[in-house]
Amino acid sequence: MDIPMATKVMLVDDEQQFVELLSQRLELRGIKVTAVTSGERAVSEVVDRNIDIAVVDLAMPGIDGIETLKRIKEKRPDVEVIMLTGQATVRSGIEAMKHGAIDFLEKPVDINILMEKIKVAKESRMKALEKKSIADLQNILKSKSW
């Protein structure tokens, strides 16, 4: 499976052991990982770091996954978010997608499925950024009177 170069993923889960293990598995596959154990930390880190994708657990103490998703999208709309949950419901999946999640996976997550979802999310982000840069360039050209 071909993951776009230097994909940067932030893992957000309150289970320290899970975050460490998943980080190792992703890094072995060429992903650059930032791991945090709270939604609050994820929101503050996403501003300062160049992140492509956030993989966010739904059920966390403090701000939960949906609120984390909303705040990440508020601060960095270009970051794609994949939600993870141990207790998936149709309602929580719909809620996550409504707030901008690109996908919703159940724990325990199959690493190959997660890698495929990361690849799709990275491609989606790159297309969106390319579209935005073309629009920005067109606006600059329109504003100049050459």
Give the pLDDT of residue 5.
63
Give the pLDDT of residue 113.
96
- At 63, list the tokens: 């701000």
Spatial separation of the C-alpha atoms in residues 93 and 9, rounded to whole Å: 21
Spatial separation of the C-alpha atoms in residues 132 and 112, rounded to whole Å: 30
Give the pLDDT of residue 2.
57
pLDDT tens column, 27-69:
999 999 999 999 999 999 998 899 999 999 999 999 999 999 9
Give the pLDDT of residue 146.
64
Q: Which domains does the chain have, with CATH numbers?
A: 8-143 (3.40.50.2300)
Give the pLDDT of residue 18.
94
For CA atoms 100, 105, 106, 111, the dihedral sign is negative
Q: How many CB atoms lie within 10 A of CB 93?
A: 18
Residue numbers in the chain where pLDDT is lower than 70: 1-5, 88, 145-146
